[in-house]
Amino acid sequence: MKFVKKYKSIGRYNRYTICRFCFSDKLSKVIHLGYVPLAGGFLRSQKDFSHEKLYPSSLAFCENCFLLQTREVIDANTLFKDYFYHSSAIKTPAKKTQISFRIVLCSLSSFFIILSAIIMNKNKNIEYTA
Ligand SMILES: [Zn+2]
């Protein structure tokens, strides 16, 4: 990516060439998303753009254990240095999670009601035939 090399600096990161779960070397590239700044790393002024570091972001698939994983890992001290996003403190994701949980709970309840009805119906058939 010529734009990145000419105008932006690349931050420090580690790139895995083996699976991070099973250590297999059968990783296949899925997608490379290019070079991106850290999420939530908001800049304070216009001149900060020229110093902003970018990081490669790509996904790989392990053909041994089927884990989809990021290949590049940024050091935690860098990643969370100015990290202010706390999912529990922001109300919108918390509300969406509550709604999603209720939907899952309702779906599971319906599933178990149908399952118990099927089991009860089967037991009736067993009583008839026995
Ligand atoms: Zn693996």
| CA distance to 27, 40, 43, 49, 50, per residue, from 81 (Å) | 30, 11, 13, 18, 19
Q: Enumerate residues with CB within 5 Å of ligand 1 (an ion).
A: 19, 21-22, 24, 62, 64-65, 67
- Quote the ligand 1 centre to 40 CA distance (angstroms): 30
Query: What percentage of the chain carries pLDDT values higher than 90?
Result: 35
88-103 per-residue burial string, b: 16 or more CB within 10 A, e: under 16 = eeeeeeeeeeeeeeee
- Quote the ligand 1 centre to 61 CA distance (angstroms): 8
- Quote the ligand 1 centre to 33 CA distance (angstroms): 21
- Quote the ligand 1 centre to 25 CA distance (angstroms): 8
Most trustworthy range by pLDDT among 6-20, 64-78, 104-118: 64-78
Q: For the chain, what's the residue count? A: 130
CA-based radius of gyration for the chain = 25
Task: For residues 37 and 53, give the distance between their C-alpha atoms in angstroms, rounded to a whole number.
Answer: 6
Which among 14, 127, 128, 34 is positioned nearest to 77, based on CA atoms? 14
The answer on pLDDT for 123 being more than 70 is no
The answer on pLDDT for 98 being more than 70 is yes
- Quote the ligand 1 centre to 57 CA distance (angstroms): 19
Domain ranges of the chain: 1-85, 86-130
- Quote the ligand 1 centre to 78 CA distance (angstroms): 26
